[in-house]
């Protein structure tokens, strides 16, 4: 059992007696949410954190936040290396060196631009 002493008038005097090994009660987070939470994939509104986590587990999703990143760093399998960069450069050069591929690429870009303008509502 741990005790705390203080020197008073040249003598050790017990100030407080520590409890019998039990610390203060841990802070418990409630499972309910006041406003509810809409799941971004299913659209279901839940008022329970555990229900939200069940939906994520069922769909194979993972909630990533600051605390999870510090505990378990994510491993990305899709790494950019020299081979992928060189392949992208080769494809770009092959498109611009061949006139038919270049024209086809221009047509794709023009279609994307027209679709974008229709979507946004620009009349240029």
Quick: pLDDT tens for 65-118: 666 556 666 677 777 888 989 998 998 888 888 888 889 989 999 999 999 998
Q: Which of 2-11, 19-28, 68-77 has the lowest mean pLDDT?
A: 19-28
Instruction: State the total domains in the chain.
Output: 2
> At 117, is the secondary structure helix, strand, or coil?
helix
Whether 24 maps to a domain, the answer reads no
* Tens-place pLDDT, residues 26-41: 677 778 877 888 888 9
* 103 occurs within a structural domain: yes
**Residue 19's pLDDT is what?**
45
Question: Tokens at residue 95, please?
Answer: 């498109």
> Using an 8 Å Cβ cutoff, are 35 and 45 in contact?
no
Categorize the per-residue pLDDT at 59 as very low, low, confident or very high, splitting at 50, 70 and 90: very high
Specify the 3-state DSSP secondary structure of 31.
coil
Q: Tell me whether residue 12 is in a domain.
A: no
37's tokens: 């939470």
* 15: helix, strand or coil: strand
Q: Domain for residue 15, yes or no? A: no
For residues 19 and 47, the model is more confident at 47
Q: What is the rounded distance in angstroms from the CA atom of residue 39 to the CA atom of residue 32? A: 15
d(C-alpha 93, C-alpha 45), whole Å: 50
Helix (H) or strand (E) holding 36: strand 32-38
Name 29's Cβ contacts closer than 8 Å, sequence gap at least 6.
49
2 is a domain residue: no
**Can you tell me the distance from the alpha carbon of 6 to that of 1, in angstroms, rounded to the nearest whole number?**
17
> pTM value?
0.35
Confidence of residue 123 (pLDDT cuts 50, 70, 90): low
Let me know whether 36 and 65 are in one domain.
Answer: yes
Q: Is the pLDDT of residue 50 over 70?
A: yes
Q: 113 and 90 in one domain? A: yes
Q: What is the domain extent for residue 86?
A: 82-120
What is the distance between the alpha carbons of residues 5 and 2, in angstroms, rounded to a whole number?
10
Whether 14 maps to a domain, the answer reads: no
Domain assignment present for residue 104? The answer is yes
């Amino acid at each position: 059992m741990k005790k705390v002493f203080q020197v008073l008038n040249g003598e050790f005097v017990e100030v407080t007696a520590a409890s019998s090994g039990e610390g203060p009660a841990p802070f418990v987070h409630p499972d309910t949410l006041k406003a509810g939470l809409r799941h971004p994939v299913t659209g279901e509104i839940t008022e329970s954190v555990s229900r939200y986590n069940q939906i994520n587990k069922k769909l194979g999703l993972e909630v990533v936040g600051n605390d999870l990143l510090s505990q378990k760093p994510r491993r990305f399998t899709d790494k950019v290396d020299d081979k992928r960069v060189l392949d992208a450069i080769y494809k770009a050069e092959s498109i611009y060196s061949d006139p038919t591929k270049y024209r086809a690429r221009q047509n794709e870009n023009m279609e994307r631009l027209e679709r974008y303008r229709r979507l946004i509502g620009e009349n240029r």
